[in-house]
Structure 1
């Protein structure tokens, strides 16, 4: 086992992908406490945090082929652990103060890669919710938010009154905010994307 201690993270990941138990054990020894600490910082529940760590490392062993070669294992573990925490909170429907803490914690993360991953996932979520809007409402909303047209420009383009356009945008915002309200970590993107007119 000592030979594994001398290996770099990328060497360990290469061996892990070949189902090397020693490499897996070394990755676990190297990172499990750090991941536990980060998860427990967010949840403040020791038993749940331990379970999520075990779940994460079990998944890494079972799906090691999904780890990309150009992503460091520490970044991969961090993203995967944070995603598990968010899913746990979502499933458990815990109090909103947990979500607020996660939001504050997420804002302190400065790693550009993580921010890009988060933004891509969040925008996909928003796009999916927009697609579920009624057809006319979606059309008006997309012209307002994606093409950045004014209510007057939308009214002229769609042959509607400005008040109808305004009402459609307001209704779309109300629906989207309700559907996305439990994702407090969307904060900044929602403020930009779902701005009020």
Structure 2
């Protein structure tokens, strides 16, 4: 390919998987700086952010076979960099310092990419918030969403009215939606939990 600057991301990924250094250089030129700016918005440390981006692109080069042929390359790179930021934070930085920025950052990534890369991480976040619900509300919500019992079955098991079950679920949904408002990338995973009935 004569002009890599005109190549689509899909074409570049295909060439990268064949070990094409020019394709890799073009991917780097397109995405390294935007990703660096996003990472640095969260970490607020230029050297650490540069190191993280370099490590990300080194991993992309050495593990190019792991890329899907039809991957949304920008989405993949943003999610991969965000996951590296999360790991860095988990290793010693205070999570609360970065959560607001991280929430904004995660909203820039497509649902499809997140579904492929992030389902376990997102489910852990949801489960943490469910665990913080008041005891009775949590019990009702878990029976409804995690054990898939009907309102009638829950009412019979807990010896409460169906109206109480309905209200507890509605309250739980309001609480969870407000707690997870910054994580718009929860997408399909949350839709399954947050249906209204």
TM-score w.r.t. length of structure 2: 0.63
Cα distance change of structure 1 residues 78 and 51 upon mapping to structure 2, 3 Å threshold:
same
The equivalent of 1:78 in structure 2 is 78
Which structure has more RCO (C-alpha within 8 Å, separation ≥ 6)? Answer: 2
How large is the RMSD of aligned CA atoms in angstroms?
4.2
Q: Which residue of 2 aligns with 1:113?
A: 112
Shift of 1:45: 1.1
| Superposition misfits of 4+ residues, deviation over 4 angstroms | 126-129, 139-142, 152-157, 183-189, 191-194
Q: Could you tell me whether the CA contact under 8 Å between 2:41 and 2:101 is conserved in 1? A: no
Residues 35-54 of structure 1: matches in 2 within 5 Å? 35-54=35-54
TM-score normalised by the chain length of structure 1: 0.63
How far apart are the structure 2 equivalents of 1:98 and 1:184? 16
Q: After TM superposition, list the pairs within 5 Å mapping 1:145-160 onto structure 2.
A: 145-146=145-146, 147-148=148-149, 153-154=153-154, 156-157=156-157
- Deviation sequence 1:121-172 (CA, Å, 0-9, x none): 345436998xxxxxxxxx987424422556x944844xx777xxxxxxxxxx
Give the direction of change, closer, same or farther, for the CA distance of 1:188–1:85 in structure 2 (3 Å limit): closer
Residues 188 and 52 (structure 1 numbering): CA distance in 2 closer, same or farther, change over 3 Å? closer
In the alignment, structure 1 residue 99 sits paired with structure 2 residue 108: no
- 1:174 is matched with which residue? none
Unaligned runs of 5+ in 1: 130-138, 163-182
CA contact (8 A) 2:79 2:117 kept: no
- Correspondences of 1:117-128 after superposition (within 5 Å): 117=116, 120-122=119-121, 124-125=123-124
Unaligned runs of 5+ residues in structure 2 are: 129-138, 161-179
Contact 1:144 1:154 in 2 (8 A): yes
- How far apart, in 2, do the equivalents of 1:29 and 1:38 lie? 15
User: Which residue number in structure 2 is paired with residue 64 of structure 1?
Assistant: 64
2:88 matched to which residue of 1?
88
In structure 1, C-alpha distance between the alignment counterparts of 2:111 and 2:12, rounded to whole Å: 24
State which drifts further: 59-68 or 110-119: 110-119
Q: Distance in 1 between matches of 2:22 and 2:59?
A: 16
- Between the aligned partners of 1:63 and 1:118, the Cα distance in structure 2 is 15
